[in-house]
Amino acid sequence: MGTVFSQKQVSLKPYNTLSVDVTAEYFAYISSADQLGDIVKSGGIDIESLFVLGRGSNTLLTKNYPGLVLLNSIKGIKVINEDENSVTLEIGSGEDWPSFVEYAVSKGWSGLENLAYIPGTVGAAPVQNIGAYGQAFEDIFVDLDAVDLTSGEIIRFTKEESKLGYRTSAFKTDLKDKYFIVVVRVRLSKDPHFDTSYHSRFPNESLSEWLKKSGKPPYTPADIAHAVTGLRKFKLPDPKEVGTCGSFFVNPFVTVDKFHELEKEVNELQHYPVTKMEYDRIDWHNTGQDKIVKIPAGRLLDELGWKGKWIGNVGTHDKQALCVITNKKASGQEVLDYTNKMRESVQKAYGIDLVSEVRIV
């Protein structure tokens, strides 16, 4: 491996948004599918000791990595099909997601404006099936190409084969660490239909209110994206000031009966529909309940006093208890210990197991 990859013992602190300082034994930039395929075919990659990193915005590194870290640097955006109603684009998986959203809405294309300012790469979008404010990546996803890390061959995965669900996909479960996504294709609309229904229990966190600051009707995709960006910046910490990976846990799904129980304990607890989303850890079909709702994990944590709470070098944002932050001096283990305490407190108080949205390595 040392003859193929010149960089050894590389600090990953600049490559993860929590600013955790761990070291990769080997480190390489991947700038094309052909480059990666050639390396795999030459025997230059041991799949058992490989980790793929994008922006590191959804990753908690808990220790030095005893293997190879590949940094995704595959770029490019091109239109591959267009008609009067829609446009289909092919995007390099290493492209910055927020920048891609800005590019798309500047063209007047719609379908991802509510996903503005979500940190990460385009390649991470299908893995996580990112979603926010009523939109999800699955709504625009067509298919993707990925390099088989065993054979080096490029394989195309359809939307159905990718198995996108609530903050998950086949690449986060069955196919985890077996493929490197190199190209993603999406279809965007030229006839926008906006969803601005998002609201919270705080009036100043309503998307419609922020939209009034961004422009006047008829709104454009860029207006919506600008409002979403403003709202996210208002609610979330500045990554230049603190270490953060955004929301640490996914919002839990509960039965309607469980929700009514929680309502008695948690004031102003909201619930949301879970249409088109499946939870990958729990088989709700065997609960005997006909209806499931999604509830905000942040509200449960807030009720238990976690908002703005610090333990050593790790805390939560003072406006969002779900958002774990650091002073950029914390070790990965410190962050893990802190989040385990959060999880334990919710389990003890409400009987709910919070599932990490962040990948822990």
Q: Which residue numbers are catalytic?
A: 167, 247, 357
**Which structure tokens are listed for 261?**
């129980």
Alpha-carbon gap, residue 193 to 73, rounded angstroms: 33
Question: Distance from CA of residue 110 to its chain's centroid?
Answer: 20
Q: Which residues contact 94 (CB under 8 A, 6 or more apart)?
A: 30, 31, 54, 72, 73, 74, 75, 121, 122, 123
**CA dist 56 to 236, 243, 335, Å?**
17, 11, 15
Nearest of 28, 25, 12 to residue 62 by alpha carbon: 12
Cis peptide before 218 (omega within 30 of 0): yes
H/E stretch holding 59 reads: strand 59-60
The answer to whether the beta carbons of residues 277 and 267 sit under 8 Å apart is no
